[in-house]
Structure formats: structure tokens, C-alpha cells
Homo-oligomer: A and B are copies of this chain.
Amino acid sequence: MQLQTVPAAKVNFAALAMCRGLGTQATSHIAAVSSLQRKAAGETLFNEGDEADCIYEITSGMLRLYKLLPDGRRQIMGFLTAGHLLGLAPEGTYVYTAETLTDVALCRYRRSGFERLIDNVPGLARRLWAFTADELRMAQDQLMMIGRKTAMEKIASFLLMQAELQGTPDEIRVPMTRSDIGDYLGLTIETVSRTLTKLKRDGVIAVPRLDRIELCDHDQLEELASGDADADF
């Protein structure tokens, strides 16, 4: 369900991540192939394997990206917030499924119109490259985390990463379920829950509501995340 489509003219395109640093002319070219979209929580933006005909920029809200194995096992590749692009495959099909975790506002760029711009707008291809490179860097950090960290280190890293991503060092919003967190970190829902409980007991975090976590002891979290914490934690 597409809640709303705003005429392109009403959007401040120069403020979008896609256009930042590009000239006004480039910005208007980009505006010409884009439209604003709203999605409710729990909707699918596109599926892994779909024809990649659009690039999206998130204006507000949060999405989850994931891949599935044939038997249903899921790996979440990331949680995206405002300012991030997605659907950035230079060719072919989407490599993951994108679903909204909250209500989301998006700017959509049609690939058909976008293609020409990439080669003609100076700096645009480079900008797309930079976005993809950043996504790669995050994927590789996640690899390190999933492959070599313990459950406690993963959870601590996750909490700090969300705080960083959301720009709120002391409290994070958690619109994703425990199951989402588990599928992001390579853990089960029970292990996520148990680990959070342990952090609560130790006073490192507080959970006033299911979708809020207060980071009470930032330093302790940092230690837990990097794995050089005292043995009694």
C-alpha cells in the first residue's frame, strides 16, 4: 500500500543525500526522475531477485534488509535509517528483500530515467560509488562481528552501533523484534533475550519499554563489545 505520493516539486531535493554536494542543475535533473513515497510499517519495498528498477533514499523511518535460505533461515544484512540509499545494484536484480520496520518516507529514483544521469551528471557516479563502498564497509564489519564475536560481544556491538546510527548515545529505539536482532547477529531469539537480561541485571542497560533501550554504562558496553572485558562479565 502506497500511502501517499508527493509531487516532486514539493520536495527539497538539494537536502537529499543523493544530491548533496552536486550543483543545482544536477539536483533538478535528479528531481525529474524521482518521486516521494510513504510506506506503512511492515510493508515490503522489494523482494530479493526482483528486477531492480528503482533506487530508494530513506527520508525517515527504518527498514530491514535480508536474504533467505531455501528452508527459511534468514540473515538480516542491515537496518537502514534516514540518509541511506538502497537498491543500489549497478545492474540486474535486487540482492536482498527490503521491508519497513516503521512508517517510512522514501525518495524513489526510477532506474530508467536515472541511467542517463549517471553518465552525464558530473560526480553522480562517484557519489553512488561512495554509498556502495560505505555499505560494503558496514557489511564487512558485520562479517567480523558474526564470524568471530561471542553472543555478548555481538549484542554490545549492536547496541553501540544503533546508538551511533541513530545519533542518540544514551537511548536507542528498537523498532525491530528480538527475532530481527537475532537474524542480524546470527543468534537465536532466546540468546538475544538472555543476553539483554544479563545486561539489565548488571545495570549496563535498562529497558523501560520493549522498543526502547537505555545505555546506562557506555564504557562497560564498549569493553563488552571489543571482547577485552573482565572475565566476570
One of B144, B226, B227 near A75 (C-beta < 8 A): B144
* Given A119-B126, A137-B95: A142 in contact with B144 (beta carbons within 8 A): no
Contacts of A186 in B (CB 8 A): 146-148
Interface residues of A in 134-167 (CB under 8 A from B): 135-137, 139-140, 142-144, 146-149
Taking a contact as CB atoms under 8 Å apart, the answer to whether A70 and B129 are in contact is: no
Would you give the 0/1 interface string for A63-74, flagging 1 where the beta carbon is closer than 8 Å to chain B? Answer: 000010111011
| Number of copies of this protein chain within its complex | 2
Assembly CA distance A74 to B133 (angstroms): 22
Encode contact with B along A3-17: 1 for CB under 8 Å, 0 otherwise.
000000000000000
Chain B positions within 8 Å of A140 at CB level: 67, 77, 95-96, 139
Residues of B with C-beta under 8 A to A143: 67, 75, 77, 139, 142-143, 146
The verdict on A22 contacting chain B, using a C-beta distance below 8 Å, is no
**Bound form: Cα–Cα A71–B186 in Å:** 21
Most B CB contacts (10 A, CB to CB) among A69, A143, A148, A228 go to: A143
Which interface residue of A70, A89, A96, A146 has the most chain B CB atoms within 10 A? Answer: A146
